[in-house]
Structure formats: C-alpha cells, structure tokens
Amino acid sequence: MPSIVDLQKLVENLDDDDRSLFHRIYRYYIEVGKLRLPESAKEKFGNYEAQQIVRVTNKITYESTLFNRLRSKRPVMTKTPEDLNKVIDESRGDVFCNPENTPEDVFGRIEGKFCITASNISKYDYMHAVIIFSEHTPFVYEEKKIYDILDVAFRWFERANEYDRRAIYPFFVWNCLWRAGASIIHGHAHALISKEPYGKYEFYDSVRKTYARNYRSEYFDDLYRIHAALGLGFTLDNSKVMVYLTPIKEKELIIIAENIAELAKSISYILKRYHEMGVRSFNAALFIPPLRTTDILIA
C-alpha cells in the first residue's frame, strides 16, 4: 500500500489535469534528516541515521503537516481494551446515567430514541447543550443511533433559535474519552449555537468564496478530486470522504455530506473502521451552515 513517502511518485503518475490541480492547491518537499547514533543506540533502536521527512502544505488554507514514518513507531502508553472496558464498567452510575437529574435548557429538552439533551452546566458558549446518549458506553457505531444524535442536535438548534432569533450559527462536536477532551465517560456530544459564526466555519466559508472567485470552482470539489486521484478519497452514497493530506492529528478524515442521513452513514462506517484499527478515543466536529440556508455539511 502506498504511503506518504511515495507522494512524489503518486503525483508524477497523475494525469495532466489532476497534477495541475494538485499543484494549484498543494506544495510539498521530501528531505532527509540526518544524525549520528552511538552503536548502543543502533542495537536498541535500529539504524535511523537517515530519516525521510515529507512536508505537505495547502497553499489555499496554509495548513501544513510534517510526516516522518519513524515517528509512528514510537512507543505510546495506552490502556488495553480490557483495562478500558473495566474503567467504563466501573464508571456506571455517573450523572449522565440519570439525565433527569441534569440541568435543562430554559426552553426544555429535546429527546430522541437514543439520546436526550441537557443544558451544559459549564458552558462553552451562551447557548450550549449536552446530548446524553441512552447507553453508558461512549462507543456508538450504529448508523441509526448516530442519525438520532445528529437529528436531536439539529432539532435543538431550531428550538434554541426560537428562544433567541439572533442565534443562527450552529456547531456540533463529539469528544469520545479523555484523550479527546471528554471529562465524563458516559457517551455524549455537544451542540452550540450563537449569534456569530464559529471560527472554523467562517474560515472554510472564506476559503470557498475566495477560491470560487479565483478559479470559478468549488474548493471542496477540487480538494476531493485530488484526494481521490491519489487514492485518499472515496464515496459512500453521496458523501465524500478524504484521508486528509494535511491533518492536525494522525488518522484525520474529512467528510462532505448533503444532509445528516448521509453523514450518519459515513460516520458509522468510519467509526467501525477506527475500532478495527484499535482507535477508541476521537474528536468529531461538524461545521454547519447558518439556519435556513442550504449548503454542504463538513465534518
């Protein structure tokens, strides 16, 4: 399977149009980092005196990532699945196991088949709900449950907007376990809405408008085309999924969907693949257009 160190060859093998599009959006270099190892270190770690470094930069967004295959081999201390299951079981009975005892928004709760809202007692923003999953486990992979979580979030956005008509800019985030920033094990996500757009959505909106002016094309369509041509993009029904070329963290993906049904299917598929890879902690963020407008969803 090709890796990021094969990027130069992969780009050279693109057809002329795709290669031109790649160079419109990206630049990269491949260099060798050199060092001298004592013999004792070579015996322990192997001979890593020459390390191939790949840097990829998005010229449109200025996102940039450095890759070194050696770094993926570093030992990382993590809990085993058995340890984690024990911790999850021992945490049963927390405050989210009885959501009726949690604060509610002044305009009430939104309830779905598999989740219910509470008002966050320690708010990120002035309109902030916690979506509490019915099951204690933080691991939710079923498409119907993920759809219900998203549906409850979008219904909460509408209810919050009825309470405050200025609030039209929604945001959704799902932190799973501690490494993703979750303070409570019990499965939950967050829904926020504000009178001002959240930074990342505003950033993407600006990027798309500028790109459309300059190239008369949709930025995310071209971005997906590059990823697909490199073997880093695939579709699930109408959703587009990219193994992102300039990730902030390893295993980062971007999903482009038209609606929450498509999005739920893609998230379900991806979380199942993550689980097979041993990933248990993750962040998922959804960048949503203003209420009563029609546009893509970016996750």
What are the pLDDT digits (tens) for 88-126?
Answer: 766 776 778 888 999 999 999 999 999 999 999 889 999
The model carries a pTM of 0.89
Q: Which CATH architecture has domain 81-201+246-298?
A: 2-Layer Sandwich (3.30)
The mean per-residue pLDDT over the stretch 158-178 comes to: 94
pLDDT band at 2 (very low <50, low <70, confident <90, very high): confident
Q: b/e string for 160-174 if b means 16 or more Cβ within 10 A?
A: bbeeeeebbbbbbbb
- For residue 180, what pLDDT is reported? 45
User: Helix crossing, 219-229 with 16-25: angle to 10°?
Assistant: 120
Structure tokens at 125: 């923003």
Residues of the chain with CATH 3.30.428.10: 81-201+246-298
**pLDDT, greater one: 185 or 225:** 225
The predicted structure's pLDDT at residue 79: 53
Helix (H, G, I), strand (E, B) or coil at 271: helix
Q: Is the pLDDT of residue 47 over 90?
A: no
For the residues of 8-64, what is the DSSP string, one character each? HHHHHTS-HHHHHHHHHHEEEEEEEEE----HHHHHHH---SEEEEEEEEETTT--E
The encoded tokens of residue 73 equal 């081999």
Q: Can you give the pLDDT at residue 18?
A: 98
